[in-house]
Chain A
Amino acid sequence: MNDDESHVPMTGEEKIAWVYGAVVLLTSGAYFVWLATQFAAHPADEIAWEVPLLITLGASIVLTIVGTILGAIGGAVWQGIWGRFEEPDFTTDERDRAIKELGNRRMFAAMTAGVVGTLVLAMLNVDTLWIGNWVFLACSIGALAEVVSKIRAYRRGV
């Protein structure tokens, strides 16, 4: 009985946070690297960014769903290999909700900065390439701020 903490798997909510963070880093990172190569090769007004951005958004959604499922299966297999299998726990409790609220506050702060920046860009009447990509950058930073604060809270405390 006193061996309770010999092995403590992550909660379902924490696993989802890790998957989401990895997916945002991967997809947004890939998109901005691609965009940088386009800036190096073409004038800004010739860059067709809309479709790649939509593909990035779609890929983020699909990869988060697939990653969450694979993470659950992989975790169970890993635990099975080490003989520590536990029933997956998808309970969401008050601590998860407190951590979610914390993450939302961090994301909101980043998004607010993004909205202010968007207003400034619109007032300056800049090309939609800058506005669209600024908004996407703000969303990506907001998502990462959310994930980092949630994982930190799961590890260090709320």
Chain B
Amino acid sequence: MGGPKPTRVSNRIRELRTERELTQADIAAKLGVTRQTIIAIEQGRYSPSLEMAFQIARVLEAPLDDVFQYREAADS
């Protein structure tokens, strides 16, 4: 079915949760979402709502723009 859908939103969730010794399942349980959704966000296949983005940042104890980055069109 081809590669992942491109998105300009990238994130450091994997890196930050590894530092904090959290699994995808841990974050999913804290947010009440499926582990597949966390995986899709980490891999850039799903851009979360603003509300979920804040929740993820809170779970990772990091500012929102440390967790998510938005590339401008010229950067891509």
Interface residues of chain A, those whose CB is within 8 Å of chain B, are 1-2, 4-5, 8, 10-11, 14, 89, 91, 93-96, 98, 152, 154-158
A5 to B43: give the CA distance in the assembly, Å.
Answer: 11
- Name the A residues within 8 Å of B2 (CB-CB): 156
Interface residues of chain B, those whose CB is within 8 Å of chain A, are 1-5, 7, 18, 21, 23-25, 32-37, 39-40, 44-49, 52
A94 to B32: give the CA distance in the assembly, Å.
Answer: 10
With known contacts A94-B49, A94-B52, A156–B5 Cβ distance under 8 A: yes
Find out whether the CB atom of A157 lies under 8 angstroms from the CB atom of B46: yes
16 cross-chain CB contacts under 8 A: A1-B21, A1-B23, A4-B24, A8-B35, A11-B34, A11-B36, A14-B36, A89-B34, A91-B32, A93-B34, A95-B34, A95-B40, A154-B36, A156-B5, A158-B40, A158-B46
- Name the A residues within 8 Å of B48 (CB-CB): 94-95
Task: Pick the contact of A93: B23, B24, B33 (CB < 8 A).
Answer: B33
Find out whether the CB atom of B18 lies under 8 angstroms from the CB atom of A1: yes
Find out whether the CB atom of A4 lies under 8 angstroms from the CB atom of B44: no
Q: In the complex, which residue of chain B has the Cβ closest to the Cβ of A99?
A: B46
Find out whether the CB atom of B23 lies under 8 angstroms from the CB atom of A157: no
- Name the A residues within 8 Å of B39 (CB-CB): 4-5, 8
A157 to B46: give the CA distance in the assembly, Å.
Answer: 6
A157 to B36: give the CA distance in the assembly, Å.
Answer: 11
Q: In the complex, which residue of chain A has the Cβ closest to the Cβ of B33?
A: A93
A54 to B18: give the CA distance in the assembly, Å.
Answer: 55
Find out whether the CB atom of A158 lies under 8 angstroms from the CB atom of B21: no
A89 to B39: give the CA distance in the assembly, Å.
Answer: 15
Find out whether the CB atom of A156 lies under 8 angstroms from the CB atom of B36: no
A93 to B48: give the CA distance in the assembly, Å.
Answer: 11
Find out whether the CB atom of A157 lies under 8 angstroms from the CB atom of B34: no
What are the nearest 8 A-B pairs in CB distance? A157-B45, A157-B5, A93-B33, A95-B37, A4-B24, A11-B34, A11-B36, A155-B1
